[in-house]
């Protein structure tokens, strides 16, 4: 079994170590021949480790005493481009689909804010894109977004404060604004507490794959998913 090791992006050296051939074989099973050939060529015919930046330059652990864990907003264009400054091959991020069928990048199932002194939460997939983008810092100068909070595993709700903030973004924005040197490890985000019907899963997966096909300029694309939609994903890839 392959061993995985997590490391901070800033601490990753250039790695020139042989990668087991089964990784290249796995890519070939998912990608078509042309895409698999491109991945093999870019990664040096599978002769080195692929270094993946988790949620870009790293996840935000808001309760951690390590200030580096609150350095850059995770899953943002800024975090991805910051990761590109280091020896990283891919950035990993989480994709969900809004109610109006737009793939957005956000890890948590619920988005939390404070309105009129009360904390409220909404499921990301129940929001329209316009509503989703109103949380946190805004792209338009002079416009203030809704406060963005985050629930910890122990139940505490903390302000989502980081040293270098950035607006929430769509999958399309990532393809358009992130350094094209990076490959994308797209994690399809599903709520383990929900039961999805095949039709709903197909709808979600098609929206994400459509965005990947239309706007993709990045040479390498890995799509990750849970066991629930894996069969449907392969069916859609083979359409």
Q: Which tens digit of pLDDT belongs to each residue from 28-74?
A: 444 445 545 554 555 454 456 788 899 999 999 999 999 999 999 99
Q: pLDDT tens digit string along 168-218?
A: 999 999 999 999 889 898 888 888 888 888 889 889 988 988 888 766 555
pLDDT of residue 163: 96
Tell whether 159 is covered by a domain: yes
41 inside domain: no
What string of DSSP letters covers the chain? Answer: --------GGG------PPPHHHHHHHHHHS-HHHHHHHHHHTTTT-SPPPEEETTT----TT-S-GGGGSB-TTSHHHHHHHTTSS-SEEEEEEEE-TTS-EEE--SSEEEEEETTEEEEEEGGGS-HHHHTTBSS-SSTTPPPBP-EEE-TTS-EEE---SB----EEHHHHHHHS-TTSEEEEEEP--TTSPPPHHHHHHHHHHHHHHHHHH---S-EEEE--STTHHHHHHHHT-
Query: Which structural domain range is residue 166 located in?
Result: 51-237
* Prediction pTM value: 0.76
Would the pLDDT of 93 be above 50? yes
Residue 25 has pLDDT above 90, yes or no: no
CATH classification of the domain holding 187: 3.20.20.190
Q: Specify if 14 maps to a domain.
A: no
Look at the chain and report how many structural domains it folds into. Answer: 1
């Amino acid at each position: 079994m392959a061993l995985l090791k997590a490391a901070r992006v800033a601490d990753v050296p250039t790695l020139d170590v042989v990668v087991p051939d089964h990784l290249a074989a796995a890519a070939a099973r998912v990608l078509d021949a042309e895409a698999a050939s491109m991945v093999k060529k870019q990664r040096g015919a599978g002769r080195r480790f692929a270094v993946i930046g988790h949620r870009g330059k790293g996840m935000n652990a808001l309760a951690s005493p390590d200030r580096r864990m609150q350095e850059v907003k995770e899953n943002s264009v800024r975090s991805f481009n910051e990761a590109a400054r280091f020896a990283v091959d891919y950035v990993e991020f989480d994709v969900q689909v809004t109610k109006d069928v737009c793939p957005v990048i956000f890890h948590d199932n619920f988005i939390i804010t404070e309105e009129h002194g009360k904390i409220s939460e909404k499921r990301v997939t129940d929001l329209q894109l316009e509503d989703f983008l109103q949380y946190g810092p805004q792209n338009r100068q002079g416009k203030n977004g809704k406060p963005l909070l985050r629930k910890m595993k122990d139940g505490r709700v903390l302000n989502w404060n980081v040293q270098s903030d950035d607006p929430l973004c769509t999958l399309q924005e990532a393809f358009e604004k992130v350094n094209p040197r990076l490959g994308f490890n797209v994690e399809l985000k599903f709520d383990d507490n929900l039961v999805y019907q095949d039709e709903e899963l197909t709808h979600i997966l098609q929206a994400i794959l459509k965005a990947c096909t239309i706007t993709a300029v990045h040479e390498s694309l890995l799509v990750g998913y849970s066991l629930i939609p894996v069969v449907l994903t392969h069916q859609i890839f083979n359409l």
